[in-house]
């Protein structure tokens, strides 16, 4: 169906243009999607993708055919396209509309551009999905791509009418495009008006225009390229009257509450389900069911008890972590100031709707995304969203740039950011989930959580053990039948063997080890939300860290002052006035020793600022903008506060006026009166202060002419300071007898000032971070700084902290900006060599891209941060780490671990704990599997040679739970090895077992089984013991060997005869408890009958002791061979640990 270019006269004619502009409710969606439609849409996408690269007539004609065929088959309605297809239609055709001839002086549109506009209009009229996509476009994008000025000047009269129809359609049906002058250049206004004159009014004035307030509200968005007047029109609101209360209720119904879609915290049942779905727990439940089916209710009860204990421990720990997180969550802002019914009122934030006029005031948290329409020196702290510490000066003028970064959207205000200075008004353009913060929150709420590496490895181990159990049971069953055992007997024996294969204590010991580790980490000021993430910490190979507030203090500090061509450094922290002004030899400069130049610089710093630093009890309270706080703190370190210059100590200044800072002038000036004279003080960007100065204060305190040579020195000094990551402010001063108008910026800032000097400000690195980074490097862990800050500042901080060296910075390949990352595909970034160590000016999308690229390289990634912009990367990293003090609620909800002290060094301590945990997990896994394999081998051996089974399932369960768990649990809290932080991270792809460890388990298990089997055979065949007595003796022998084997399991290489063998008091206690349980099971009447054990003579314990000594001797011999092999290959401990 082609577009009818005749001017319609009857809206009832469905083939004419007027009907195509009718209410969106006239378009009906088909009920289902058939295969033919899927095939047709695939062809449409193929044609559009070809059209991206070449607008050939053949391709355009084919697209026209597809359109007409779809319209005919749909009875005048296009099929329902997918969102991605609709976006392709809009983006490709709008782009092709701008195609022009190559003439430099008189470019004209090409036939392809004319055909593309026709197709664009046709799809727009008849596809609701295309209409939805167009809502996301801005007036600036229409102006840039559709190029109406060229189409309206085309010689073809019919095409000019088509262009006019499209403008009429857009301006009538979309309130955001109502002002067509915003996307049509002024020199084409008359052409639009002429086109409109030829178009009957009723043909484009709809009864229910799309997205009008009579049907649906305006589309939410930032509208940064739209004038304030047009935004007010689009949202049908007034800057002075605001919305009416009745209208707000309707909009609240349409848009919903202004609340963020928070990730749903796990409930009690969810946490319980998570514990029950652990693979090892499922295995134990299955084993319990099998035991119950065989009427072995004691064994079934014991297994259920194991499951219950394991689940309760894990459930309790996760519940405690979630409650601790809830207690950390900061209170969400409750109210905001809006204009409604012509009055300023305080309302709950959840009730704010698009179109509301919010009043922005100093110190308030912004309640929603808004387009600013009025400013008075308005500055906003957006660090929570962009990661940049510096305040953003706001303005009202539209910004005509495509794909604008949030940090550069200076005419918009964002939810959860803070008004640091000034005041203003803004019209709300997005609320709740539609805000920038809401989009991030929504994405995180729907994200799935991946299992940790250890969870995957233990699940894999569990599957292997189940397979082994099945195979061994079948072998045992067949061998038993061959040896003459009955089917019933062999079923019981096979179940006993299956119980031997499965280490029932493993799940409990793993959970308890994590729980103990979580408590240990909590003592180091971190909360573990998910227990298995502790182990993942131990395998971290790269830490991606946000800069502001994590690596740095998140507070601006004056680092140095350049006055009268002399440089002074400022010591002490930036958060309190404790420190000194030091000269070039690092000697303190006292107040009475200061030159006039330096004294005046301190006065300007103290007085030309609105920040306050006061002492409340023993705590310093800071209020004001970060930059102003920095210079005020510096002045107070020198011994000068604002009152020092107003109370007669160093002057009697009286405030007269202030010319506030704004983004255009980039400076601030104050006027004070002192003993009949006017004193003007100024601070601001160096170039903007220098242009107001004609004198320079030299080292002798004299004001000399500000020559070109001196100006060059100032510029060079400022550039040198900036190259070290310092933010540079300039200070100026002027004294005069009078001012006719002290409120006039033109008069106050006349080119009569004296240039005093420069101040270098920086967000300083945390003192503990440098050593922590060095510890990371020693542990083979890379550190990458990811920040929204400038690359010069980021590089400077990275060098100070040791993240990057001078040589690496000079190479130019270790520092990348966000725009460079945008240009790379995911595959290109993942394969980049060398991988960047500093990523500056990055967006939340860039951070997530970096994390995914590192994971694709096989790295185990920990991502740290505190702002909303860090949350996506934190969520999708292997380990997400949030700051507990400065971190937002959203960031904490996304994290696995929360640092209570916001200290990077705590991460290193947590990694050390994670490595210790993994080492210990390996120790007790090897211990448990060696012990359980011994039970398997002796069972198989006994049945094969015709001996009665040495153990029943109840005996095995008693040994596995009461004898094995206490030592295994003690191994789980074994102290860290001395080299735990000097090894390389372990290979994340490596399983718990490899050739070394599997061989070790095999040898240890066979040795324990062989020694115990010899005792069993001697008891039955030599000494003639009854079966029950022989079983008890071999049971005591194997259990005792397993207990002493726990001490040997502390190290797979080091000898047992060393001091560290007895450094674990819990292992000594576990040994005693297990041995007591062994004696209790043998010698306690009633209990021994349940366990099918009988007391045996005390001298038989000599056999047990001898068996233990034999086992330890064999183990020591094997360790000796390990050490000899390592010395021959010159393998150090770190390499050996990595190999095994």
Q: Is 498 strand, coil or helix? A: helix
Place of tokens 């970064």: 405
- Which tokens sit at 272? 């319980």
Asked if residues 748 and 659 have their Cβ atoms less than 8 Å apart, the reply is yes
Q: Tell me, yes or no, if 154 is annotated catalytic.
A: no
Q: Is 486 strand, coil or helix? A: coil
C-alpha angle 1009/1011/1016, rounded to 5°?
Answer: 85
For residue 24, give every residue at least 6 positions away whose Cβ sits within 8 Å of its Cβ, in sequence order, or none: 128, 131, 208, 210, 215
- Which tokens sit at 744? 């006039």
Find the helix packing angle between 83-96 and 35-53, rounded to 10°. Answer: 30
Integer CA distances (angstroms), 624 to 420, 556, 642, in order: 7, 12, 14
Cα separation, 841 vs 512, in Å, equals 43
For residue 304, give every residue at least 6 positions away whose Cβ sits within 8 Å of its Cβ, in sequence order, or none: 285, 288
| Pairing assessment for the beta strands 782-786 and 838-840 based on DSSP bridges | parallel
Pick from 783, 787, 784, 881: nearest CA to 843: 787
CB atoms within 10 A of CB 1114: 17
Place of tokens 């945008």: 822
CB atoms within 10 A of CB 1132: 12
- Which tokens sit at 236? 């049908």
Integer CA distances (angstroms), 697 to 133, 564, 598, 664, 683, in order: 61, 6, 10, 27, 15
Integer CA distances (angstroms), 595 to 592, 697, 785, in order: 9, 11, 41
Cα separation, 25 vs 926, in Å, equals 68
Place of tokens 């008189």: 106
Count of residues making up the chain: 1140
Cα separation, 759 vs 559, in Å, equals 8
Q: Is 412 strand, coil or helix? A: strand
The secondary structure element, H or E, covering residue 861 is strand 861-865
C-alpha angle 992/997/1002, rounded to 5°?
Answer: 120
Q: Given 165, 278, 369, 546, which residue is catalytic?
A: 546
- Which tokens sit at 693? 């100065």
Burial class of residue 909 in the structure, from the number of CB atoms within 10 Å of its CB (0-12 exposed, 13-18 middle, 19+ buried): buried
C-alpha angle 337/342/346, rounded to 5°?
Answer: 20
* Bridge partners, residue 935, by sequence: none
Q: What torsion do the CA atoms of 581, 584, 585, 590 make, to the nearest 10 degrees?
A: -30
Cα separation, 157 vs 104, in Å, equals 24
- Which tokens sit at 1031? 């079983």
Integer CA distances (angstroms), 761 to 111, 603, 613, 725, in order: 58, 17, 17, 9
- Which tokens sit at 249? 């209720």
- Which tokens sit at 72? 């005919």
The secondary structure element, H or E, covering residue 558 is strand 557-563
Cα separation, 1069 vs 1092, in Å, equals 27
Burial class of residue 1130 in the structure, from the number of CB atoms within 10 Å of its CB (0-12 exposed, 13-18 middle, 19+ buried): exposed
Pick from 424, 446, 87: nearest CA to 263: 446
Q: Which residues are catalytic?
A: 546
């Amino acid at each position: 169906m082609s577009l009818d270019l005749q001017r319609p006269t009857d809206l009832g004619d469905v083939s004419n243009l007027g009907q195509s502009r009718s209410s969106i409710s006239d378009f009906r969606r088909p009920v289902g999607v058939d295969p033919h439609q899927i095939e047709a849409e695939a062809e449409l996408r193929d044609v559009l993708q070809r059209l991206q690269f070449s607008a050939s007539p053949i391709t355009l004609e084919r697209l026209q055919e597809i359109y007409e065929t779809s319209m005919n088959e749909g009875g005048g309605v296009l099929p329902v396209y997918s969102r991605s297809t609709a976006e392709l239609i809009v983006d490709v055709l709008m782009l092709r509309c701008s195609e022009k001839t190559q003439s430099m002086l008189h470019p004209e549109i090409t036939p392809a551009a004319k055909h593309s506009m026709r197709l664009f209009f046709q799809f727009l009229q008849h596809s609701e999905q295309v209409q939805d996509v167009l809502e996301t476009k801005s007036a600036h994008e229409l102006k840039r791509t559709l190029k109406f000025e060229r189409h309206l000047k085309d010689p073809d009269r019919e095409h000019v009418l088509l262009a006019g129809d499209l403008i009429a359609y857009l301006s009538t049906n979309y309130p955001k495009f109502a002002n067509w002058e915003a996307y049509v250049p002024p020199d084409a206004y008359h052409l639009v008006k002429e086109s409109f004159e030829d178009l009957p009014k009723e043909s484009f004035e709809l009864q229910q225009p799309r997205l009008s307030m009579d049907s649906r509200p305006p589309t939410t968005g930032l509208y940064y390229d739209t004038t304030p007047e047009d935004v007010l029109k689009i949202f049908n609101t007034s800057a002075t009257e605001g919305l009416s209360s009745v209208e707000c209720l309707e909009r609240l119904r349409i848009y919903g509450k202004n609340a963020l879609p928070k990730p749903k915290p796990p409930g009690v049942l969810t946490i319980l389900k998570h514990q029950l779905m652990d693979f090892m727990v499922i295995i134990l439940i299955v084993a319990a069911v099998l035991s119950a089916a065989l009427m072995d209710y004691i064994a079934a009860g014991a297994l259920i008890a194991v499951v219950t204990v394991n689940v309760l421990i894990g459930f309790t720990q996760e519940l405690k972590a979630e409650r601790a997180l809830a207690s950390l969550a900061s209170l969400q802002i409750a109210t905001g100031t809006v204009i409604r019914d012509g009055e300023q009122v305080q309302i709950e934030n959840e009730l704010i709707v698009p179109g509301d006029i919010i009043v922005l005031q100093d110190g308030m948290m912004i309640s929603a995304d808004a387009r600013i329409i009025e400013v008075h020196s308005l500055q906003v702290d957006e660090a929570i969203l962009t990661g940049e510490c510096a305040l953003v000066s706001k303005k009202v003028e539209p910004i005509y740039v495509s794909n604008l970064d949030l940090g550069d959207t200076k005419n918009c205000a964002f939810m959860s950011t803070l008004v640091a200075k000034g005041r203003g008004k803004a019209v709300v353009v997005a609320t709740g989930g539609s805000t920038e913060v809401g989009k991030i929150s929504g994405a995180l709420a729907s994200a799935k959580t991946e299992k940790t590496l250890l969870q995957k490895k233990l699940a894999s181990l569990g599957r292997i053990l189940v397979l082994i159990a099945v195979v061994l049971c079948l072998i045992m069953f067949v061998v038993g039948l061959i040896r003459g055992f009955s089917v019933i007997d062999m079923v019981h024996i096979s179940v006993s063997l299956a119980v031997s294969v499965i280490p029932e204590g493993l799940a409990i010991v793993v959970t308890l080890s994590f729980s103990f580790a979580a408590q240990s980490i909590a003592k180091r000021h971190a909360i573990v939300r998910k227990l298995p993430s502790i182990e993942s910490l131990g395998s971290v190979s790269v830490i991606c860290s946000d800069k502001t507030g994590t690596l740095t203090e998140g507070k601006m500090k004056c680092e140095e002052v350049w006055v009268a061509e002399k440089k002074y450094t400022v010591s002490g922290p930036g958060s309190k006035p404790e420190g000194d002004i030091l000269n070039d030899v690092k000697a303190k400069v006292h107040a009475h020793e200061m030159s006039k130049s330096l004294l005046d610089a301190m006065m300007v710093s103290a007085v030309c600022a609105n920040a306050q630093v006061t002492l409340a009890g023993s705590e310093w309270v800071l209020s004001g903008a970060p930059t102003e706080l920095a210079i005020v703190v510096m002045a107070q370190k020198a011994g000068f506060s604002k009152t020092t210059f107003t109370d007669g100590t160093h002057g009697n200044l009286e405030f007269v006026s202030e010319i506030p800072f704004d983004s255009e002038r980039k400076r601030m000036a104050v006027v004070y009166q002192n003993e009949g004279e006017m004193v003007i003080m100024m601070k601001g960007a160096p170039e903007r202060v220098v242009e107001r100065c004609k004198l320079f204060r030299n080292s002798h305190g004299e004001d000399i002419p500000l020559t070109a040579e001196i100006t060059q020195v100032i510029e060079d000094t400022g550039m040198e300071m900036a190259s070290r990551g310092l933010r540079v402010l300039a200070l100026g001063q002027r004294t005069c007898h009078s001012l006719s108008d002290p409120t006039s910026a033109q008069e106050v800032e006349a080119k009569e000032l004296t240039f005093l000097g420069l101040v270098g400000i920086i967000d300083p690195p945390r003192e503990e971070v440098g050593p922590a980074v060095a510890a990371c490097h020693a542990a083979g862990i890379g550190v990458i700084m990811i920040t929204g800050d400038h690359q010069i500042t980021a590089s400077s901080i990275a060098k100070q902290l040791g993240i990057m060296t001078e040589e690496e910075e000079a190479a130019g390949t270790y520092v990348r900006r966000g725009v460079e990352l945008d240009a790379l595909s995911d595959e290109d970034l993942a394969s980049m060599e060398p991988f960047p160590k500093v990523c500056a000016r990055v967006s939340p999308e860039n951070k997530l891209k970096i994390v995914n690229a590192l994971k694709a390289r096989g790295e185990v990634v920990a991502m740290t941060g505190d702002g909303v912009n860090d949350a996506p990367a934190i969520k999708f990293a292997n380990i997400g780490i949030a700051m507990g003090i400065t971190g937002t609620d959203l960031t904490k909800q996304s994290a696995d671990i929360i640092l209570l002290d916001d200290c990077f060094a705590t991460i290193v301590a947590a990694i050390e704990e994670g490595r210790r945990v993994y080492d210990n997990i390996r120790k007790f896994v090897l211990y448990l599997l060696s012990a359980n394999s011994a039970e398997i081998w002796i069972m198989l051996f006994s049945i094969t040679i015709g001996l009665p089974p040495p153990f029943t399932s109840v005996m095995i369960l008693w040994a596995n739970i009461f004898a094995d768990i206490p030592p295994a649990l003690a191994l789980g809290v074994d102290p860290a090895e001395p080299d735990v932080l000097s090894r390389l991270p372990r290979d994340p792809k490596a399983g718990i077992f490899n050739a070394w460890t599997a061989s070790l388990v095999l040898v240890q298990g066979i040795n324990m089984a062989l020694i115990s089997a010899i005792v069993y055979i001697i008891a039955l065949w030599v000494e003639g013991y009854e079966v029950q007595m022989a079983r008890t003796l071999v049971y005591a022998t194997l259990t005792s060997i397993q207990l002493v084997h726990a001490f040997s399991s502390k190290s797979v290489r080091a000898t047992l005869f060393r001091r560290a063998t007895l450094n674990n008091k819990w292992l000594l206690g576990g040994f005693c408890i297990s041995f007591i349980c062994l004696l209790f099971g043998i010698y306690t009447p009633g209990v021994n009958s349940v366990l099918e054990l009988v007391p045996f003579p005390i001298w038989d314990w000599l056999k047990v002791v001898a068996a233990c000594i034999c086992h330890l001797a064999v183990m020591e011999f094997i360790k000796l061979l390990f050490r000899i092999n390592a010395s021959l290959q010159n393998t150090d401990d770190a390499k050996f640990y990595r190999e095994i």
